[in-house]
Amino acid sequence: MPEIAIIGDNFMLSAAFREAIERRCGGLLSIRAMDLPWPDEPMEHGYAKAGLEGLKEYQGDPETILSFTGEAEILVTHLAPLSASMLARLPALRMIAVSRGGPVNIDLAAAKERGIRVVNTPGRNASAVAEFTIGAILAETRLIRAGHEALRQGVWRGDLYRADRTGRELSEMTVGVVGYGAIGTRVVRLLKAFGPRILVADPYVQLSAEDRADGVVQTSLETLLAQSDIVTLHARVTAETTGFIGREAFSRMKRGAYLINTARGPLVDYEALYDALASGHLAGAMLETFAIEPPPADWPLLRLPNVTLTPHIAGASRKTITIAAQEIAEEVARYLAGRPPLHPC
C-alpha cells in the first residue's frame, strides 16, 4: 500500500487532491494530508534561505515538510519546498506531483539525480488567466477603473464622456499578444469576439491554422510593440525575457498605449514602466503580478492614477482547483500503474 503525502493550502485544498485521487485510483491507498496557510500568509520569493538555495515561490518550514512527508512514496503539493538537501533526507520518495505550471519550489536537478519522478500541471489555470486578461483590458480601455475610483471618492467623472477623454472599443484597436502558449492562445480566442486586429509575437511557436485563417498576424516583438494599442504579456520568465519589457520596449510603444501584465513581474522593468506612465507616454497599465509580492507599501506604482493593480489572482478560480486536482490524480494513477507521466518535468 503506497504512502501518499498531500500538502495543500487554502487555495489548492488537500481535500480536493484527496478526493480526486481516491476517485481516480480507488481504495487501498494510505493518504495523509495537511494544508499550508497560503494565500492568507505570503510565499517566500527569494533564493537566500539556507538549505533552500535555488527555490522560489514556496511556502512551508523545511523541517515541518520533511517530518510530514516522512516515508511517503508520493508527495502531492502546490507550494511546499523541496531542495537538494531536503530530498537527501527523503529516501523513500519516488514521485513529486506539483499542481502548478512552473515547479519552481522543487530542485528538479536534485530530483532527477535521485530518480524521483516530478510532474506538474501546465495550463491548469490558462482559461482563468485568459478570462481575467480580457477583464483587465476592458477595465483600462473602457475607463472602468477610473470611473470606479472617482465614485468611491465622491467624484462624478462626467468628463469621462468627453470625446477627448472617453475610451475606445476593442473593435477599433490593435492588440499585441506576447507569448502564444496555453494562455496566449486562449487570449487570442477570446479577443476575436471583440473584433480587434490581433498581433502575436512568439519566436518559438507558430500560429494555428485557425488563427491564421481568422486574420491573426504573427510578427516580431519590435513590430508588435510599435503597432499595438494594447500589449498583453503571456511569456514565461527566462534569462531571455527577464526585464525585456523595459525602456527600449516602452519607447517603441505608441503614445497612449496600454500594458497588461497577467504573466510574471520579472518580465517588466517597473522603474521604466513608472516613467512611461508618469510621463503620459503610456495611457495606463494593468499589473497583476510583481517582482516582489506583496509589493512594498511605498512602491511608486501604487500611487499612480493610471494603473490598475490586483494581488496575483488571475489564475484563481474554482475551475482551476478542479482541473489541477484531476490532472494530479491522473498522474498518480499512471505512476501506480507503471505508466509514463503525461507532464514530466
Catalytic residue list contains 312: yes
Q: How far is CA 342 from CA 60, 96, 113, 138, 330, in A?
A: 27, 13, 20, 36, 9
- The DSSP code for 68 is H
φ, ψ of residue 333 to 5 degrees: the values are: -60, -40
Catalytic residue list contains 293: yes
The answer for residues whose C-beta is within 8 angstroms of residue 232's C-beta and 6 or more apart is: 133, 136, 137, 175, 176, 177, 178, 187, 260, 261, 262
User: What grid cell was written down for 345?
Assistant: 518535468
The answer for residues whose C-beta is within 8 angstroms of residue 211's C-beta and 6 or more apart is: 185, 188, 198, 200
Radius of gyration of the chain (CA): 22
100, 234, 264, 343: which one is catalytic? Answer: 264
- Taking the C-alpha atoms of residue 284 and residue 117, their distance in angstroms, rounded to an integer, is 44
- Taking the C-alpha atoms of residue 32 and residue 25, their distance in angstroms, rounded to an integer, is 15
113, 293, 303, 339: which one is catalytic? Answer: 293
Catalytic residue list contains 3: no
312, 330, 331, 343: which one is catalytic? Answer: 312
Q: Which residues are catalytic?
A: 264, 293, 312
